[in-house]
Amino acid sequence: MKIRVGIVGGAGYTGGELTRILLNHPECDIHFVLSKSNAGKFLHEVHSDLNGETNLKFSEPSVNTQEKNFVGVDVIFLCVGHGEARKFMENNELPEEVKVIDLSQDFRIAERSFIHQRKFIYGLPELNKAAIATASNIANPGCFATALQLGLLPLANAGVLGEIYSTGITGSTGAGQGFSQTSHFSWRSNNIQAYKSLKHQHLHEVYQSLRQLQPTIENSDFEEGILNFVPWRGDFTRGIFITSQLKCDLSMDELQKLFHDFYLNNPFTYVSQNEISLKQVLNTNKCVIQLEKVGHKLVIHSAIDNLLKGASGQAVQNMNLMFGIDETTGLKLKASYF
Amino acid sequence: MKIRVGIVGGAGYTGGELTRILLNHPECDIHFVLSKSNAGKFLHEVHSDLNGETNLKFSEPSVNTQEKNFVGVDVIFLCVGHGEARKFMENNELPEEVKVIDLSQDFRIAERSFIHQRKFIYGLPELNKAAIATASNIANPGCFATALQLGLLPLANAGVLGEIYSTGITGSTGAGQGFSQTSHFSWRSNNIQAYKSLKHQHLHEVYQSLRQLQPTIENSDFEEGILNFVPWRGDFTRGIFITSQLKCDLSMDELQKLFHDFYLNNPFTYVSQNEISLKQVLNTNKCVIQLEKVGHKLVIHSAIDNLLKGASGQAVQNMNLMFGIDETTGLKLKASYF
Amino acid sequence: MKIRVGIVGGAGYTGGELTRILLNHPECDIHFVLSKSNAGKFLHEVHSDLNGETNLKFSEPSVNTQEKNFVGVDVIFLCVGHGEARKFMENNELPEEVKVIDLSQDFRIAERSFIHQRKFIYGLPELNKAAIATASNIANPGCFATALQLGLLPLANAGVLGEIYSTGITGSTGAGQGFSQTSHFSWRSNNIQAYKSLKHQHLHEVYQSLRQLQPTIENSDFEEGILNFVPWRGDFTRGIFITSQLKCDLSMDELQKLFHDFYLNNPFTYVSQNEISLKQVLNTNKCVIQLEKVGHKLVIHSAIDNLLKGASGQAVQNMNLMFGIDETTGLKLKASYF
Amino acid sequence: MKIRVGIVGGAGYTGGELTRILLNHPECDIHFVLSKSNAGKFLHEVHSDLNGETNLKFSEPSVNTQEKNFVGVDVIFLCVGHGEARKFMENNELPEEVKVIDLSQDFRIAERSFIHQRKFIYGLPELNKAAIATASNIANPGCFATALQLGLLPLANAGVLGEIYSTGITGSTGAGQGFSQTSHFSWRSNNIQAYKSLKHQHLHEVYQSLRQLQPTIENSDFEEGILNFVPWRGDFTRGIFITSQLKCDLSMDELQKLFHDFYLNNPFTYVSQNEISLKQVLNTNKCVIQLEKVGHKLVIHSAIDNLLKGASGQAVQNMNLMFGIDETTGLKLKASYF
């Protein structure tokens, strides 16, 4: 029997990408897609590329509908804004057997990962695969957090992480559909801008993951912590590319082995022996990593599609693990390499 | 048993896209990918997004290899340059039972569609589906030709086509991987340029298709024919968008019915009731069409992904039809809508 | 003594470009820049590239300020929305000697070109240079209208214009700073869409200009007129490129002579003997035109920067003519060719 | 009397930008533009935006022409490739009174800054203004070097520079007109890639400048030096944006004062009190800088147009200084802000 899926917040970018993936997922049926502002409309009126793919309509999140919907599904994806996921969980009594995968940041930090009887597991398969497989609730990682961690986890696992200086660049979809000066085409086209220098909210979950592997990392605040990360707004719609610089005494051979071993059995994440570029991973669920060594200096590049490995793709990967099916099911996506 | 596939000319854009599709096609196995200039290299050394997807290497097109290869496959895709496909067919004696799908323009025009004992069928499923199903050799349509025809065929079928004025815009992948001023990023970024005004080579095959349905169309040369088409180089990598203008006395209702009926049972081509835009079809095998009527003036917009419905996707669609499997197999691709 | 300038509506794209030009114009002083929503702010708080260029602030359009301002200036540029220019003229009694250059469409059509004692002249220098030189009030042409007309006027002047089929593409700045789905970077990047097919509001002023030269053009409505124009939203910020197709019996030599003679003494508009491309004119006040002939078919390409020759640059050109200084003063702008 | 200028290597990006600037420079006359590969052609056949701007032709660099040309000019700009400038100086005996401004890297490092009787001064006005004013030969700084230094010089001047971690992104024009995979539109569009991590050749001149102000900086090699710089290929044509991170105990007020004082009397370089973005400086000769402080961590953003402040604009700024005219002459360029 197929996994019965409900999507809450289906009109945004992550809800749309999730729908695109699940419509072609061989082990899933989408039972409902909720959207307050679009209830009653066809999905393809909002996601116009879905024209011809599905006749599903957005549901109205009325109390009655909810009860009916929430009972009939196996898993609910929350694709709502930060803060909205916690509210949804507070306001809705979900049947115990319904699993939840939340794409917001509301339950990612362990101290805030509980609600009612539910405990959320941080859903980075490369870090927590066993726990995900038995979890009922997943806090899906942030996009920058995913790309940043995947470049650093093997070093934390070896206990060799010191100060890290990173710069990342993200496509416009990372900021959602909202309107602002920086989302306007006339502003963003051919432009670059830094924002939230050293204070990006995803750093909290990255610190948490690094300390899980290297508990000696003491501070984890913006002012004193070892993570120095500056994100940039990029002149493209999809993808995240991060360069991290740090001191490291391991040889290139040792580093390659560390990374190779750490990502063994992780089908989406691997270290390339060649120069990587962002477009290698666009429209896929992959993370590619490149290592460079100059003297004692180590440079790590990592790249993901922010909407897939950084959001909806990883959410489906988590669902696959939770339901005991192959991790890559429905995620063998044709790259949009050009 | 799976369809055994050979690809000749696998290093270019269309060869790459074909490989991406076929690696995930449930009814196919790729037996070899030939590339003169890359023989011996891994596919992912050329198509770097395939890293982690396949360990296939490009084969050397030596006589011995060829004999061996060509015998063991069910179908060969020719992804070589215009003129090269005919040479390949002249120089290689393929076993009779091996089918051929040629993506070049070499065999598209009926007068030039024969070689040895082989007759090539023009592979536009919306026009020639029955013939394709029984064909052994397919001449896959051109990208502009596909988008232009699909906007006009229902009118030709109704015998109402008069003079047509069209403008089309294409992404840079339409021009291949070769280097030239117009392929340079510094030139093409933020730029627009017309080229081959009224003389685009694809007009020949469009005339052929239109006359197949509306034999009263007399002239089909650049100077006197009814097709007035100006292509533009666009500031993007993928996709074709065409606007055609013509006089037409049919009402909007009649037009909608004409198009709807013509494309019934064609899963990839449909008329949208809303405004279309290019990104609705990117990274998919679809063609979307939009009709607008002002007085006696008719405007038709059509959009495709030039590398998929305009090349490799349509080639796989043809293969599916030739081997009697569902037309959409392996072609339910996640749109890269953002 | 320098020309004293006031700008009404200085916070938008056209107001910003006008300010950029006038700050370096050797014969001008900017006396005030009004902006309701930004009164009191520095100009560079809105147009951040002006940081270091000027310490001017936006003025408050209070009655007192207005009286004082409007008296002290020689010319006022209206860079406000369509409809707002007429309201401004109705609500403000400008001193008779203050000239007005309106960038909106409110006074472009002769029937609607009067207000109080003021009569607005259509400010296309290539068409009305003598009248502009003695005018007190100018209705500055629309951007699409400028590019479309300049490709057609010499033919109208020769009385040979028949049916015209045009497609144009415009950058995002043509739609102003407002927020909408089509102004969002995630939507517009790599996208193309048609809009207002055959019904673009600029067609009215183009008909007016064409009939000024070729009075035999009868109809000028969307349904029956000879102008068939479909605009596209383009994937870039600046510029307009138009391709027009029509039947024409003149030889290429005759056409070249027609165009050359018509644009003699017009320093910004000329016919190129080579292929043109959009970026040749970006960040300049130029219009370049290219002619192609195939049999009796004529293809005309024309390109402008929508914010300069299509708006603020042409407005300054008109000012120069009105004040008897060289047409090109302050308009020898370095092209942003890459 | 105007400055008589000769340009050697006028067909590339920097030669083109230089020509664009000098054609509108009120104190200059261009006497010749040499280009081996284009001798005899009109400038506008290569730089097509110059159509209508000039009837100059590229000269042939024959011995006779050279002698004649080189005698009649006051200054020669060398816009040739790295290595070619030194060859040119070796092979040509320039009259002593002819000044030279070299845009290559051949004479930037003090140890290699001599040839014949000529000594080249490193032409960063913010660092060496007095020396430039009396120099006969200028080595114009590199583009990345300019943006990187201008963000760091005030700190070196205060003697407080420690380890610096920088990431920079550059437009495609930074790599010249040559063809390569990474210059192809289909590759570069929507892509990001790191290159020359920690080993960019411009680091040598940056170290030299920093040590000029802070001689305690010991090492200056890639492996041990304090500069850790990773450049990225960006998805745009023009501009450089750099983020540098370092530890710093100075307060924000102290930093602002340091930078303000250091750049006093430098009209093109200033610290913005607001968030900067790349497009603020495009098509201008400016450098804008932004400072951010979090605890003891300092983040510095700097942005320039790589072809202007990073190449041809700075070259003209140096010329102005050498000839005793206002530094900004001919360089008040309209920003291409959108």
Any idea what the CATH number is for the domain that residue C251 is in?
3.30.360.10
- Name the band, by pLDDT with cuts 50, 70 and 90, for residue C269: very high
Res A60: pLDDT: 74
- A295 phi-psi bin (left φ>0, alpha ψ -120 to 50, beta other): left
Task: For B337, name the nearest residue in chain C, comparing CA atoms only.
Answer: C187
- Locate D66 and state its tokens: 């050279």
- Name the band, by pLDDT with cuts 50, 70 and 90, for residue C236: very high
* Angstroms from C179 CA to nearest CA on chain A: 6
- Catalytic pick among D28, D79, D143, D248: D143
Considering Cα of A10, then A15, then A19, then A20, what sign does the dihedral take?
A: positive
- Rounded to whole angstroms, the Cα distance separating D36 from D32 reads 13
C166-175: average pLDDT: 97
Which residue shows structure tokens 């081509």? B269
- Locate D53 and state its tokens: 């701007």
* Angstroms from B190 CA to nearest CA on chain D: 9
Residue percentage of chain C with pLDDT more than 90: 92
Whether the per-residue pLDDT at A61 is higher than 70: the answer is no
The answer to whether residues C11 and C114 belong to one domain is yes
C224-251: average pLDDT: 98
CB B14 within 8 A of CB B8: no
B333 in a domain, yes or no?
no
The answer to whether residues D83 and D183 belong to one domain is no
- Name the band, by pLDDT with cuts 50, 70 and 90, for residue C69: low
Burial level of B270, CB count in 10 A (0-12/13-18/19+)?
middle
When CB atoms are compared, the residue of A49, A288, A337 closest to B47 is: A337
**What total of structural domains would you count in chain C?**
2
C149 in a domain, yes or no?
yes
- Rounded to whole angstroms, the Cα distance separating D38 from D50 reads 15
What does the pLDDT look like over C19-46, one tens digit per residue?
999 999 999 999 999 998 999 999 999 9
Res C338: pLDDT: 86
What does the pLDDT look like over B92-141, one tens digit per residue?
989 999 999 999 999 999 999 999 899 999 999 999 999 999 999 999 99
- Locate B226 and state its tokens: 């009814």
- Rounded to whole angstroms, the Cα distance separating B312 from D209 reads 54
Q: For residue C337, which residues of chain D lie inside 8 Å, CB to CB?
A: 16, 20, 47-49
- Rounded to whole angstroms, the Cα distance separating C264 from C261 reads 5
* Angstroms from B271 CA to nearest CA on chain A: 10
Q: For residue B267, which residues of chain A lie inside 8 Å, CB to CB?
A: 52
Task: Determine phi and psi for A40, rounding to 5 degrees.
Answer: 95, -20
What number of CA atoms fall less than 13 Å from residue C141's CA on the CB side? 32
CATH of the domain at C132: 3.40.50.720
D328 in a domain, yes or no?
no
Res B52: pLDDT: 85
C337 in a domain, yes or no?
no
Q: Which of B234, B232, B237, B240 is nearest to B305 (CA)?
A: B240
At residue B290, the 3 state secondary structure works out as strand
A274 in a domain, yes or no?
yes
Res C64: pLDDT: 57
* Angstroms from D13 CA to nearest CA on chain B: 10
CB D13 within 8 A of CB D308: no
The answer to whether residues A125 and A242 belong to one domain is no
* Angstroms from D142 CA to nearest CA on chain A: 20
- Average pLDDT of every residue of chain A: 95
What does the pLDDT look like over D138-186, one tens digit per residue?
999 999 999 999 999 999 999 999 999 999 999 999 999 999 999 999 9
A239–D301: do the CB atoms touch at under 8 Å?
no
A338 in a domain, yes or no?
no
- Beginning with the edge strand found earlier in the chain, give each strand of the sheet holding D269-271 in spatial order: D193-194, D227-233, D164-170, D240-247, D297-304, D287-294, D269-271
Residue ranges of chain B whose CB lies within 8 Å of a chain A CB: 13, 16, 20-21, 24, 45, 47-52, 171, 173, 190, 237-238, 267, 270, 272, 274, 276-277, 279-284, 286, 288, 307, 332-338
At residue C212, the 3 state secondary structure works out as helix
The answer to whether residues A113 and A78 belong to one domain is yes
What does the pLDDT look like over C99-144, one tens digit per residue?
999 999 999 999 999 999 999 999 999 999 999 999 999 999 999 9
The answer to whether residues C43 and C120 belong to one domain is yes
- Locate A300 and state its tokens: 């790590």
C166, C180, C181, C197, best to mutate vs chain B, most B CBs in 10 Å? C197
Domain that holds residue C261: 143-304
C184–A186: do the CB atoms touch at under 8 Å?
no
Neighbours of chain C (3+ CB pairs under 8 A): A, B, D
CB B213 within 8 A of CB B156: yes
Output the CA–CA distances (angstroms, integers) from residue D186 to A204, B77, B280, D234, D235, in the order listed. Answer: 37, 23, 20, 13, 11
- Cβ pairs A/B, distance under 8 A: 87
When CB atoms are compared, the residue of B173, B179, B185 closest to D188 is: B185
- Name the band, by pLDDT with cuts 50, 70 and 90, for residue C68: low
- Each as own residue / partner, the long-range contacts of residues D250-253 (CB below 8 Å, 24 or more positions apart, any chain) are D250/D158, D250/D160, D250/D298, D251/D293, D252/D291, D252/D293
When CB atoms are compared, the residue of A48, A281, A334 closest to B24 is: A334
- Rounded to whole angstroms, the Cα distance separating B115 from B118 reads 5
Output the CA–CA distances (angstroms, integers) from residue A4 to A71, A72, B247, C285, in the order listed. Answer: 10, 7, 50, 60
The answer to whether residues B62 and B187 belong to one domain is no
The answer to whether residues B190 and B277 belong to one domain is yes
A270–B51: do the CB atoms touch at under 8 Å?
yes
Check: complex ipTM more than 0.85 = yes
C239–B192: do the CB atoms touch at under 8 Å?
yes
When CB atoms are compared, the residue of B165, B234, B275 closest to C245 is: B165
Task: Determine how β-strand D297-304 pairs with β-strand D28-34.
Answer: unpaired
Residue partners of B14: CB distance under 8 A and separation at least 6: B79, B103, B307, B311, B312, B315
When CB atoms are compared, the residue of C21, C281, C337 closest to D47 is: C337
What does the pLDDT look like over D183-236, one tens digit per residue?
999 999 999 999 999 999 999 999 999 999 999 998 889 999 999 999 999 999
Q: Which of B156, B155, B154 is nearest to B264 (CA)?
A: B154
Residue ranges of chain B whose CB lies within 8 Å of a chain D CB: 13, 171-173, 177, 179, 183-190, 236-237
Whether the per-residue pLDDT at C176 is higher than 60: the answer is yes
The answer to whether residues B188 and B241 belong to one domain is yes
The answer to whether residues D91 and D159 belong to one domain is no
D338 in a domain, yes or no?
no
- Rounded to whole angstroms, the Cα distance separating A86 from B23 reads 41
- Rounded to whole angstroms, the Cα distance separating C130 from C134 reads 7
Alpha-helix residue ranges (DSSP H) falling in chain B: 13-23, 43-46, 63-72, 84-91, 125-133, 143-157, 185-188, 203-213, 252-263, 312-322
The answer to whether residues C122 and C152 belong to one domain is no
D33-44: average pLDDT: 94
Neighbours of chain D (3+ CB pairs under 8 A): A, B, C
- Rounded to whole angstroms, the Cα distance separating A125 from A133 reads 9
B228–C241: do the CB atoms touch at under 8 Å?
no
- Rounded to whole angstroms, the Cα distance separating D96 from D79 reads 20
A143 is catalytic: yes
A198–D236: do the CB atoms touch at under 8 Å?
no
The answer to whether residues A151 and A299 belong to one domain is yes
Q: What length does chain C have?
A: 338
CB A232 within 8 A of CB A174: no
The answer to whether residues D118 and D182 belong to one domain is no
Task: Determine how β-strand A121-122 pairs with β-strand A227-233.
Answer: unpaired
Mean pLDDT by 10 residues, chain B (338 residues): 95 97 97 93 95 90 61 95 96 94 98 95 98 98 98 98 98 94 96 98 98 94 96 98 98 98 97 96 98 98 98 98 98 94
- Catalytic pick among C28, C79, C143, C287: C143
When CB atoms are compared, the residue of B173, B179, B189 closest to D179 is: B179
Q: For residue B243, which residues of chain C lie inside 8 Å, CB to CB?
A: 167, 194, 197, 230, 232
**Partners of D119 in beta bridges:** D114
- Locate D19 and state its tokens: 């020509």
D41, D170, D283, best to mutate vs chain C, most C CBs in 10 Å? D283
Whether the per-residue pLDDT at C52 is higher than 90: the answer is no
A232 in a domain, yes or no?
yes
**Partners of B167 in beta bridges:** B230, B243
What does the pLDDT look like over B243-269, one tens digit per residue?
999 999 999 999 999 999 999 999 999
**Partners of A77 in beta bridges:** A7, A101
Task: Determine phi and psi for B168, rounding to 5 degrees.
Answer: -130, 155
What does the pLDDT look like over A304-331, one tens digit per residue?
999 999 999 999 999 999 999 999 999 9
Residue ranges of chain B whose CB lies within 8 Å of a chain C CB: 165, 167, 169, 186-187, 190-195, 197-199, 222-224, 228, 230, 232, 234-239, 241, 243, 245, 275-279, 282, 290, 292, 294-297, 299, 301, 303, 338
* Angstroms from A200 CA to nearest CA on chain D: 12
Q: pTM for this one?
A: 0.97
* Angstroms from A316 CA to nearest CA on chain D: 25
D276–C47: do the CB atoms touch at under 8 Å?
no
